[in-house]
């Protein structure tokens, strides 16, 4: 399984997960149940060599054409690295870091895109599919030629991410509205054949995600938005909804099913949390971030353990009023072994830094920002 992580202006990182995590092994023990309660308080430092066979730091070629803006997204497909930046272009490099070309069709013409919210690469033909912030999806072939346009699939929603599987799209989205003096949030994941034909859909409502308070004489709204994050692993899409203790899957026919159930036990979060309860770092309940990664052998997860976190990361943060405040990060990474059915929280390999201990090449602690789809 190959994995890319952006680690600097001119360096990319390639991970090869251990051969033990690949193959046709079946009969994964305890698959479907993630016992969070039993794992709390039993974390350990996990070395990268325990889950990966190699790591490569790839210097990217620098020339006038390959100059990058702020990095927005990274994909890896068929030996090529694709990097989108704040200029809404996509730079393509070889696996060795040699610059190939830059793709950009920015504009307001009928075959152009206005911006890039996120993008996908077709692993079969190298085509690029772009999701605009407006919700439009535009397909191009490997040479950058326009193929087709899907207008906004859900005109009433804000589309956040998408993946392609088989011959349909899967998108994650959210909507906001006011209901009885409260802000109502609707989150969802929808599988579309096209804008008129929905294969399946999963959605949930939340009323407790906003706090309004006065800052320097102005009323400011603070929102807790944790919409579903889509990952594609082989021929299946998976996602988490923050209000559900479940990791869902969508197969190649568009069917949604429960894949993993999280058991929190005495660390279960209260139902219908308000903003302050969710952000209270002194509470003794755990919640799971909707952003996660999957390999053939592992799920890489990110929990907010609050008062249960064994090690805090302390930072100063500048608020809306411009004042610096002291904040504590109580998030803890975890790795779930699908074969053994075990969950292990990762202790910090270096104080103030989360991730795996990079013991293969002696680099900085590592945690992925992207994983490939091939397994």
Q: Give the alpha-carbon dihedral of 64, 69, 74, 80, to 10 degrees.
A: -10
Question: 3-state SS of the chain: helix, strand, coil percent to 5?
Answer: 5, 50, 45
Query: What is the predicted pLDDT for the residue at 11?
Result: 55
**How far is residue 149's CA from residue 114's CA, in Å, rounded to a whole number?**
13
Q: Please, which residues bridge with residue 313 across strands?
A: 329
Burial 7-26 (b: 16+ CB within 10 A, else e): eeeeebbbbebbeebbeeee
Instruction: Report angle CA 104, 71, 298 to the nearest 5 degrees.
Output: 115
C-alpha triplet 206, 209, 210: angle, nearest 5°: 135
Measured at the CA of 215, the angle between CA 212 and CA 219, to 5 degrees, comes to 45
* CA-to-CA dists, residue 315 to 85, 197, 356, angstroms: 27, 47, 21
Look at residue 223 in the predicted model and tell me its pLDDT. Answer: 61
Give phi and psi for 351, each to the nearest 5.
-55, 125
Distance CA 15, CA 3 (A): 5
Q: Is 165 exposed, middle or buried (0-12, 13-18, 19+ CB in 10 A)?
A: buried
Q: What's the pTM value of the predicted model, to 2 decimals?
A: 0.85
Q: What are phi and psi of 328, to 5 degrees?
A: -120, 130
H/E stretch holding 261:
strand 256-263
Shortest CA distance to 178 belongs to which of 139, 155, 135, 207?
207
Distance separating alpha carbons of residues 320 and 327, to the nearest angstrom: 14
Comparing C-alpha atoms, which of 62, 61, 116 is closest to residue 89?
116
Measured between alpha carbons, how far is 72 from 146 in angstroms, rounded to an integer? 22
Per-residue pLDDT of the chain (375 residues; tens, 9 = 90+): 334 343 334 455 565 544 333 232 333 333 589 999 999 999 999 999 999 999 999 999 999 999 998 999 999 999 999 999 999 999 999 999 999 999 999 999 999 999 999 999 988 899 999 999 888 899 999 999 999 998 877 777 888 888 988 788 899 988 877 766 566 778 899 998 876 688 899 987 765 555 666 666 676 666 666 778 899 998 899 999 877 889 999 999 999 999 999 999 999 998 877 778 888 889 999 999 988 999 999 999 999 999 999 998 887 776 656 677 777 899 999 999 999 999 999 999 999 999 999 999 999 999 998 887 665
Asked whether 88 and 106 are in contact (CB, 8 A), the reply is yes
CA angle 146, 165, 112 (to 5 degrees): 20
CA distances from 199 to 101, 259, 327 (A): 37, 19, 43
- Which CATH number fits the domain 2-345, given the four candidates 2.120.10, 2.60.290, 1.10.10, 2.40.30? 2.120.10
DSSP string, 20-83: GG-S-----TTTTEEEHHHHTT--B--BGGGTEEEEEEEEPP-STTT---SEEEEEEETTEEEE
At 229 the three-state DSSP class reads: coil
What would the two tokens of residue 112 be?
Answer: 């152009």
| pLDDT number for residue 204 | 78
d(CA 257, CA 236): 11
Neighbours of 359 (CB within 10 A): 16
């Amino acid at each position: 399984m190959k994995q890319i992580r952006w680690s600097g202006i001119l360096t990319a990182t390639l991970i090869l997960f251990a051969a033990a995590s690949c193959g046709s092994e079946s009969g994964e023990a305890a698959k479907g149940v993630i016992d969070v309660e039993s794992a709390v308080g039993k974390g350990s430092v996990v070395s990268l060599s325990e889950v990966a066979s190699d790591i490569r730091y790839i210097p990217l070629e620098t020339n006038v054409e390959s100059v990058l803006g702020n990095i927005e997204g990274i994909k890896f497909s068929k030996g090529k690295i694709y990097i989108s930046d704040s200029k809404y272009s996509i730079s393509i490099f070889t696996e060795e870091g040699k610059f190939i070309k830059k793709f950009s069709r920015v504009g307001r013409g009928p075959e152009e895109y206005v911006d890039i919210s996120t993008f996908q690469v077709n692993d079969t033909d190298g085509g690029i599919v772009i999701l605009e912030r407006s919700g439009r999806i535009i397909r191009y072939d490997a040479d950058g030629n326009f193929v087709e346009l899907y207008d906004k699939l859900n005109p009433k929603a804000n589309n956040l991410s998408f993946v392609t599987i088989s011959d349909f799209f899967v998108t994650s989205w959210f909507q906001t509205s006011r209901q009885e003096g409260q802000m109502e949030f609707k989150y969802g994941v929808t599988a579309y054949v096209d804008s008129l034909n929905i294969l399946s859909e999963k959605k949930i409502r939340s009323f407790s995600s906003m706090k309004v308070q006065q800052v320097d004489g102005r009323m400011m709204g603070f929102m807790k938005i944790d919409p579903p994050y889509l990952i594609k692993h082989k021929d299946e899409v998976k996602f988490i909804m923050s209000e559900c203790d479940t990791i869902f899957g969508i197969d190649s026919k568009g069917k949604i099913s429960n894949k993993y159930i999280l058991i929190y036990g005495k660390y279960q979060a209260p139902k219908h949390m308000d903003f302050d309860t969710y952000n209270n770092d002194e509470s003794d309940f755990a919640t799971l971030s909707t952003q996660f990664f999957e390999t053939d052998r592992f799920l890489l997860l990110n929990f907010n353990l609050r008062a249960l976190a064994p090690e805090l990361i302390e930072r100063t943060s500048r608020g809306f009023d411009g004042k610096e405040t002291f904040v504590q990060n109580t998030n803890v990474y975890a790795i779930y072994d699908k074969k053994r059915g075990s969950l292990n929280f990762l202790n910090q390999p270096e104080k103030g830094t989360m991730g795996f201990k990079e013991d293969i090449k002696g680099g900085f602690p590592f945690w992925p920002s992207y994983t490939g789809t091939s397994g």
